[in-house]
């Protein structure tokens, strides 16, 4: 049950507004980005996140997930990429996908963390 969990909070994103507020556009792009990163998505959810126009999205993968939340007014995005090591070292795919996210949303600055998960079962 080892895995790599990358988190990123993106501020003052300079991307087109639709990527922060258009659920259909964002959802389609997320699926394409996951496929381009070589990930096998089991299911995907994209939902309006309330009365302030944001989007909340989740992609479920085997023993893994990718979640994205957008705050259009603040031009902010919160991203989680959690990939299990069940199919080998997930580091390249996880970092590749996170880089694609950051390039896509084009933030002025980010706060990012990397967590090694589930390493105590050996």
Q: Which residues bind a copy of itself (CB under 8 A)?
A: 1, 3, 5, 7, 9, 11, 42-43, 45, 47, 49-50, 52, 54, 56-58, 60-65, 67, 69, 71, 74, 76, 78, 80, 82, 84, 86, 109, 111, 113, 115, 117-121
Residue 64 CB, nearest approach to a copy of itself (Å): 7
Report the residue number, 33 or 57, with the smaller CB distance to a copy of itself.
57
Report the residue number, 15 or 49, with the smaller CB distance to a copy of itself.
49
Cα(113)–Cα(116) distance, integer angstroms? 10
Residue 22 CB, nearest approach to a copy of itself (Å): 17
Residue 95 CB, nearest approach to a copy of itself (Å): 19
Residue 35 CB, nearest approach to a copy of itself (Å): 17
Task: Please say whether the beta carbons of 115 and 8 come within 8 A.
Answer: no
């Amino acid at each position: 049950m080892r895995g790599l969990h990358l988190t990123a909070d993106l501020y003052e994103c300079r991307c087109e507004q639709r990527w922060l507020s258009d659920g259909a556009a964002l959802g389609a792009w997320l699926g394409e980005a996951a496929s381009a990163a070589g990930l096998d998505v089991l299911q995907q959810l994209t939902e309006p996140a309330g009365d302030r126009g944001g989007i909340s999205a989740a992609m479920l993968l085997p023993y893994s997930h990718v979640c994205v939340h957008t705050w259009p007014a603040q031009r902010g995005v919160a991203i989680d990429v959690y990939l299990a090591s069940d199919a080998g070292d997930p580091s390249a795919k996880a970092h590749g996908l996170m880089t694609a996210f950051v390039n896509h949303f084009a933030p002025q600055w980010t706060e990012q963390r990397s967590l090694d998960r589930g390493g105590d079962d050996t």
